[in-house]
């Protein structure tokens, strides 16, 4: 839809990076309109994972993760609506951070699901993540969801932490046994280091992915209505009247996954189903957010695996619902609006890296980054 399109204005995050004297060397590939978990939905073709090009880099910001992992650049920006920074970071063996909703201005970011989207950094290590985050974070008068809250204070040196983990995640049937074993070891190590570790229940975990896909497709169907062949983007030739131009331009210009989501989102917002799906989804989201905040209120952070598996092969997952389940551990942070980072944690016997996810209270971003830095150093 936007092939060859050049935006007439820049994004706040990009302007801030440029103003800090960073050299921007290019744009990175991603799934079409950030919809996907493997980078196979890109109109520009798939990205290979630099660790093993036969494998996907994850998605949707797979190009950004791959470019850092391959050493093409020091850092990259991605966007995370349901895990699109953290999952590719895990698959490519780099760090990736989704800030608190409202920490980074979304001005200039192409909207997918506006109440979930956040821009965030990729880098090899958490120090660089923090440096790039500091440059892009902060209020922006051009995004009225950007927050004026002051930065949180970093972790005091030597302070022991209250760490939670969800038993549910480790017991998940799709969980790779090696990644599970690795996480269990890390949790034991946290205990041995004197941190207070608590096993947590995860109420309604089976509703996370369905709620995310109902609400994010609803928002996407509305956001993507602007690509109609009239305003900008692809316009079908010789379609006839204006209605036919809308239809033909959208049919030609949008890929199958994007169409699937527009159909689903339009359905859940339609008059007869709004209450049963969108309205209900909003109520469930509120409960998930409240539960998440309540759990985090007595902890410094919650740790989970970032993903249940390492990177899979190109073409390996063809069922859309199986692909959606890639996001099983990451969507909670977007549903609740909390900050979450994936840091490289281990290497599987199959040779591929995998990450650990750390989640914290809303606006504890700076504190979370200092914790991630301590864990990475260890």
List residues binding ligand GLN (CB under 6 A). 34-37, 60, 79-84, 112, 216, 327
**Are 31 and 42 contacting, i.e. CB atoms less than 8 angstroms apart?**
yes
Tokens of 33: 């309109």
User: Minimum Å distance from CB 359 to ligand GLN?
Assistant: 15
Number of residues written out for the chain: 378
User: Minimum Å distance from CB 320 to ligand GLN?
Assistant: 9
Nearer to ligand GLN, 37 or 221 (CB): 37
Q: In degrees, to the nearest 5, what angle opens at C-alpha 315 toward C-alphas 311 and 307?
A: 25
User: Minimum Å distance from CB 199 to ligand GLN?
Assistant: 27
Tokens of 361: 């209270």
**Are 121 and 86 contacting, i.e. CB atoms less than 8 angstroms apart?**
no
User: Minimum Å distance from CB 63 to ligand GLN?
Assistant: 13
Nearer to ligand GLN, 81 or 245 (CB): 81
Q: In degrees, to the nearest 5, what angle opens at C-alpha 366 toward C-alphas 364 and 370?
A: 115
The alpha carbon of 48 is separated from its chain's Cα centroid by a whole number of angstroms, namely: 19
User: Minimum Å distance from CB 248 to ligand GLN?
Assistant: 26
Nearer to ligand GLN, 81 or 309 (CB): 81
User: Minimum Å distance from CB 59 to ligand GLN?
Assistant: 6
The alpha carbon of 23 is separated from its chain's Cα centroid by a whole number of angstroms, namely: 24
Nearer to ligand GLN, 196 or 322 (CB): 322
Q: CA distances (Å), 118 to each of 69, 96, 114, 261, in order? A: 21, 12, 9, 19
Nearer to ligand GLN, 80 or 228 (CB): 80
**Are 363 and 117 contacting, i.e. CB atoms less than 8 angstroms apart?**
no
DSSP 150: P
What number of other Cβ atoms are within 10 A of residue 271's Cβ? 6
Nearer to ligand GLN, 36 or 265 (CB): 36
Q: Which residue is nearest to ligand GLN (CB)?
A: 84
Phi (first) and psi of residue 163, to 5 degrees: -115, 130
Nearer to ligand GLN, 261 or 361 (CB): 261
Contacts with 75 (C-beta within 8 Å, 6 or more apart), sequence order: 22, 68, 121, 122, 123, 128, 129, 131, 132
User: Minimum Å distance from CB 356 to ligand GLN?
Assistant: 19
């Amino acid at each position: 839809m936007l092939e060859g399109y050049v935006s007439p204005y820049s994004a706040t995050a990009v302007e801030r990076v440029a103003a800090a004297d960073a050299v921007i060397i290019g744009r990175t590939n991603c799934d079409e309109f950030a919809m996907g978990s493997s980078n196979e939905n890109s109109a520009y073709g798939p990205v290979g994972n630099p660790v093993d090009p036969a494998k996907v880099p994850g998605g949707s910001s797979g190009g950004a993760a791959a470019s850092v992992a391959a050493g093409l650049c020091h850092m990259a920006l991605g966007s995370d609506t349901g895990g699109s920074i953290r999952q590719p970071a895990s698959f490519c063996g780099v760090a990736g951070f989704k800030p608190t909703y409202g920490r980074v201005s979304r001005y200039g970011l192409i909207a997918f699901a506006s109440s979930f989207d956040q821009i965030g950094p990729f880098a090899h290590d958490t120090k660089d993540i923090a440096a790039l985050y500091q440059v892009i974070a902060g209020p922006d008068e051009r995004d009225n969801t950007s927050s004026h809250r002051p930065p949180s204070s970093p972790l005091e040196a030597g302070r022991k932490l209250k760490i939670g983990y969800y038993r549910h995640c480790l017991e998940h049937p799709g969980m790779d046994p090696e990644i599970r074993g690795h996480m269990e070891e890390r949790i034991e190590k946290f205990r041995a280091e004197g941190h207070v570790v608590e096993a947590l229940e995860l109420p309604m975990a089976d509703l996370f992915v369905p709620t995310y896909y109902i609400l994010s497709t609803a928002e996407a169907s509305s956001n993507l209505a602007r690509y109609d062949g009239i305003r900008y983007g692809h316009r079908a030739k010789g379609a006839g009247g204006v209605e036919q131009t809308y239809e033909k331009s959208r049919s030609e210009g949008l890929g199958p996954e994007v169409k699937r989501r527009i159909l689903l989102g339009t359905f859940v917002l339609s008059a007869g189903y709004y209450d049963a799906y969108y309205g209900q989804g909003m109520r469930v989201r509120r409960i998930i957010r409240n539960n998440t905040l309540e759990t985090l209120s007595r902890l410094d952070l919650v740790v989970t695996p970032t993903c249940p598996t390492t990177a899979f092969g190109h073409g390996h997952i063809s069922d859309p619902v199986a692909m959606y389940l890639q996001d099983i551990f990451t969507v909670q942070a977007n549903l609740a609006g909390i900050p979450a980072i994936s840091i490289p944690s281990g290497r599987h016997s199959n040779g591929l890296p995998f990450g650990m996810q750390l989640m914290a209270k809303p606006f504890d971003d700076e504190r979370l980054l200092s914790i991630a830095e301590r864990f990475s150093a260890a």
